[in-house]
Structure 1
Amino acid sequence: MAEKIYIIDFGSQYTQLIARRVRELNVYCEIHPFNHLPVLDEEVKGVILSGSPHSVLDTESPYIDLYKYRGKLPLLGICYGAQLTAFESKGKVAPSEIREYGRANLSFIDQSCPLLENIKEGSQVWMSHGDTITDLPEKFKVIGSTESVQVAAYHIEGEQTFGLQFHPEVTHSTDGKEVLQNFVVKICGCSQSWTPDTFVDSTVKALKEQLGNDKVVMALSGGVDSSVAAILVHKAIGENLYCIFVDNGLLRKNEFESVLESYKHMGLNIKGVDAKDKFYDALRDVTDPEQKRKAIGRVFIEVFDEEAHKIKDVKWLGQGTIYPDIIESVSVKGPSATIKSHHNVGGLPDYMHLKVVEPLNTLFKDEVRRVGTSLQIDAAILGRHPFPGPGLGIRILGDINPEKVRILQEVDYIFIQGLKDHGLYDQVWQAGAILLPVQSVGVMGDERTYENVVSLRAVTSLDGMTADWCHLPYEFLAKISNDIINKVKGVNRVVYDISSKPPATIEWE
């Protein structure tokens, strides 16, 4: 990696957003928690200090030795980061008389300062802080103010250290992207050369060096992350990559066959394993959602381990781990600094004695898709909705059997295919059907029925952390409901879930 920006995380809800904004400028960056600081190297061009829910006035507030960076590299403090920088230089920080939260406008801008170059007075910014800087230390110069915040931005004369009491990373700060660009490009001197193509080239080269002639085994799911990771590894080691796709009996209709076929067209060395009966046996009479997940995970490990042992001299386990998984495991709020291992394949046990290779563990989901496009992976795979690891097992409420799976597969197929046929699929983050443990009275022809109820679920989201129910057209829902009831034996009622996350979750179990 030629150049990078370090983002020091003090626990802000916006930290990942800072990283996204920097990467949108084609500059690579990494997030590191304040209590696990990385070693500086030549590739680091600058440091950004994040915000925080804490106050610098609290005795237990997050703290780092700023002189690790000050005077050595360009430094930008955002909100808490700006307050900490001022406070540690004997400036005064005090609780705001009025909590400063929401939109504000810059009434004064020093455009001679490179951080705010080309930013015009009146520019809207987003404030979110309970404290404010009331007195600046010596050599700290105000470069931006709002009507109520005198020190909205500052620069330390004689060094490339800056502070902002607003959040340039959120869209409410209308010129925030330009402010960040001024910092990472003009001040830090980053070349904006980090693109999907350069990522592919550098990653394949690194994988060749890391893996040599070793064999790698991967579990594929048909999803975006594992598919892109597999193609990267395949480009590096070719036939030494062995892929396994397990049919747990809880996949979508025809998914096992179609995914296998698509992978073969991509040139991957893949083996499909039909293990439906083993999963059904393990799930017999199990109704508790957590117990279902554990049973599915346990059987997956057993099947995958058995298949992996059939390959001689395998040394590596390939995974589609992405950056948010890493961030979560080492975050300020996390329980430890231990990075999750094997999370994409249900938690493989240590007795497999495999080293882990994770070629996507520096990327966000949208970046993975862009890399997939650079690799010319089929758009149908890259645009695929997220699908839960336990599959339909957590969309069948109550116990699971092959007949219930058949019913839900048919319902799900009609719904998903309908979204595609009506041009709605790409407008939805995730969609699926849930088989409820409820039966209701119906009338078909002259006969009374007493059959199953299914719920349809479709949500819009950016990252799955929050989600809103999707406002699908009434005419579309009416047609899908009619098709399901007419074509799927065992269903006589369809409902639509209009719950958002929070308070509900996307999946029902």
Structure 2
Amino acid sequence: MPEKILILDFGSQYTQLIARRVRELNVYCEIHPYNNIPDITPDIKGLILSGSPCSVRDADYPNPDLSAFLGEMPVLGVCYGAQLMAQEGGGEVIPSTIREYGRAKLQQVDQHNRLFKEIPVGSQVWMSHGDTIKQIADNFEIIASTESVQVAAYKVKDQETYGIQFHPEVTHSTEGKRLLRNFVVHICGCSQDWTPDMFIENTVAELREKIGNDKVILGLSGGVDSSVAAMLIHQAIGKNLYCIFVDNGLLRKNEFEDVLHSYKDMGLNVKGVDAKEQFYSALSGLTDPEAKRKAIGRVFIEVFDQESHQVEDAKWLGQGTIYPDVIESVSVKGPSATIKSHHNVGGLPDFMKLKVVEPLNTLFKDEVRIVGKTLGIDDTIIGRHPFPGPGLAIRILGDITPEKVAILQEVDHIFISSLKKTGLYDQVWQAGAMLLPIQSVGVMGDERTYERVVALRAVTSVDGMTADWCHLPYEFLADVSNEIINKVRGVNRVVYDISSKPPATIEWE
């Protein structure tokens, strides 16, 4: 097993960013909820405690037993994690006199301390907390301060235990990556050998051992995740992988044919299934986004089960589940705040009797792309924008009809094709069009029209967890709008979505 850093999640919006920064150092790490700490194993080289929206002054503040870690391995507390260890160690945490949020400068730094090796006085850090550490116990020492925060960082004497009140994982902390490298490499002693080649080698070996001579069925979507998962399993078991690509009637224009064609040269055994009518029938009259997702998931399982019976003695279901899906499904926040139902997390109905294999469930999206490139998968698949599992059903607000799907397919085709033609496609993380449940007055020629409104959405992101709206050129948007209104019958108005995530989501439903 690769050596790893353990990250305990206390609910911070930045927890996944800590993991990403550690992995950029070619060190494997895992996120676990603070209330579900795994057993300590020899491959765990250090522990990082995340920030939190909670306060250590709350009556029921998160306070896990860390005695098995403290003094036994290096520990780094970030923000809440630092305040928790300071308070539990005998110090005092009080409300900040002013909310400490934003940029600050390190005015005092103990550069002899290994955590701050090569980090100069004056370095910019990012603060985001409502509490501050007023006092530390006698066996703690201050190793960094800012103008307004005396205990910006501390170390426990005779232990490799550290706390920092700023966030090194965000880009606003200019030496943040260096600080994390100091902790992970110099203090924890990680060897930085977790690379795409190592991941592929280990994963293929594990798949061979786990699956043996069994048959695996995998649902392909044409996207990055399912394609990379398929290639990894294919490398492990060859012809015993059976891929199924279902046309749910909610794909992009010509996507069914295009995707099947793209897999031709990859050596995969792929069967295409036209199930449009089954999905349209199940969606008839549904308007609630969650109801639509569940209907699509149910029919997909029915179709998939039907097709899987054509493969004799299949034992496994391959899935392209990635790490953010896993993290969100076991979140420290619990199941009460469902943002959306993940179409590929949560297992299968009992009647399918298939065991699940998920070769990508430890990777973030950009890591999946890097592995895909290393595997030699074509750039048209690797560089493809993410596309939601429920397809256009959650980009058509309201009920679903074949007529609405056809309209949106044409609009989407113009938008995506234009992005590609103008060289903008690769600058965008995800783009698509939404068909709104409203009509608006327009004028075409000498006639008054009362037709549909579509919204275009394009965002920039690294992994989809946060996103900013993409500042596409006005001239481009004008040309796309003009082409849509001229060519797509039934649409007379185009708007552009300028919302970021959060507070909005990337999709509209």
Report what 1:116 is aligned to.
116
Contact 2:329 2:345 in 1 (8 A): no
Cα-to-partner distance string for 1:240-293 (whole Å, 9 max, x where unaligned): 111110001111111001111112211111110011122222333444444333
Deviation (angstroms), 1:178: 0.7
Residue of structure 2 equivalent to 1:206? 206
Q: Which residue of structure 2 aligns with residue 88 of structure 1?
A: 88
Unaligned runs of 5+ in 1: none
Aligned pairs for 1:330-479 within 5 A: 330-335=330-335, 343-344=343-344, 348-440=348-440, 444=444, 450-479=450-479
Answer yes or no: is the 8 Å Cα contact 1:301–1:346 preserved in 2. no
Give the counterpart letter for 1:304 in structure 2.
Answer: F
Q: What are the Cα deviations for residues 314-346 of structure 1, in whole angstroms up to 9, with x where unaligned?
A: 11111111111111222221239xxx9983289
**Structure 2 CA distance, aligned partners of 1:151 and 1:283?**
57
Structure 1 residue ranges, 4+ long, deviating more than 6 angstroms after superposition: none
Distance 1:193 1:431, change over 3 A: same
Q: Which amino acid aligns with 1:267?
A: G
Q: Structure 1: how far apart are the matches of 2:66 and 2:401?
A: 59
1:327 alignment partner in structure 2:
327
For the residue of structure 2 that corresponds to 1:55, the secondary structure is coil
Q: Which residue of 1 aligns with 2:68?
A: 68
Deviation, structure 1 residue 402: 2.6
Q: Match of 1:38, as an amino acid? A: P
Q: Quick one: distance in 1 between partners of 2:448 and 2:287?
A: 29
RMSD (Å) for aligned C-alpha atoms:
2.3
What SS does structure 2 have at the residue aligned with 1:454?
A: strand
Work out the CA distance in 1 between the residues paired with 2:292 and 2:342.
19
Deviations 1:10-68 (A, max 9, x none): 22222111111111111111111111111111111111122222222334111122320
Distance 1:491 1:104 in 2: 50
* Residue 451 of structure 1: how far off its partner (Å): 4.3
The question of whether the paired residues in 2 share the 8 Å contact of 1:440 and 1:450 is answered with yes
Residue number in structure 1 paired with 2:43: 43
**Kindly tell me: are residues 97 and 456 of structure 1, through their superposed partners in 2, closer, same or farther at Cα, counting changes over 3 Å?**
closer
How far, CA to CA, are the matches of 2:287 and 2:85 in structure 1? 54
Residue by residue over 1:442-478, the C-alpha shift from the partner in whole angstroms, topping out at 9 and shown as x without a partner, is: 5555666554443322233344344433332222222
Q: Secondary structure of 2:178's match?
A: helix
Taking a change above 3 Å as real, the CA distance of residues 101 and 396 of structure 1, as seen in their structure-2 partners, is: closer
The reply on whether 1:508 has 2:485 as its aligned counterpart is no
Deviation digits for residues 58-96 of structure 1 (CA, Å, limit 9, x no counterpart): 341111223201221111122222222222222233333
Moved more, 375-384 or 198-207: 375-384
TM-score, L = length of structure 2: 0.93
CA distance in 2, matches of 1:501, 1:140: 39
Report whether the alignment pairs 1:106 with 2:106: yes
SS in 2 for 1:54: coil
1:474–1:132: structure 2 CA closer, same or farther, 3 Å change rule? closer
Change (3 A) 1:441 1:19: closer
Q: How many residues align?
A: 506
Percent of residue pairs identical: 74
Query: Is the alpha carbon distance of 1:488 and 1:212 closer, same or farther for their aligned partners in structure 2, counting shifts above 3 Å?
Result: same
| 428-437 or 300-309, which deviates more | 428-437
Residues 211-251 of structure 1: CA deviation (Å, up to 9, x unaligned): 11111111111111111111111111111111110001111
Alignment-derived partner of residue 249 in structure 1: 249
* Shift in Å, 1:370: 1.1
**2:318 counterpart letter in structure 1:** G
Q: Distance in 2 between matches of 1:228 and 1:307?
A: 22
Q: 1:481 to 1:57 in 2, by over 3 A?
A: closer
- Counterpart-to-counterpart distance in 2, 1:489 and 1:373: 40
Q: Which amino acid in 2 is paired with 1:418?
A: S
Q: Is the partner of 2:317 in helix, strand or coil?
A: strand
Q: Which stretch of structure 1 is more off in the superposition, 88-97 or 415-424?
A: 88-97
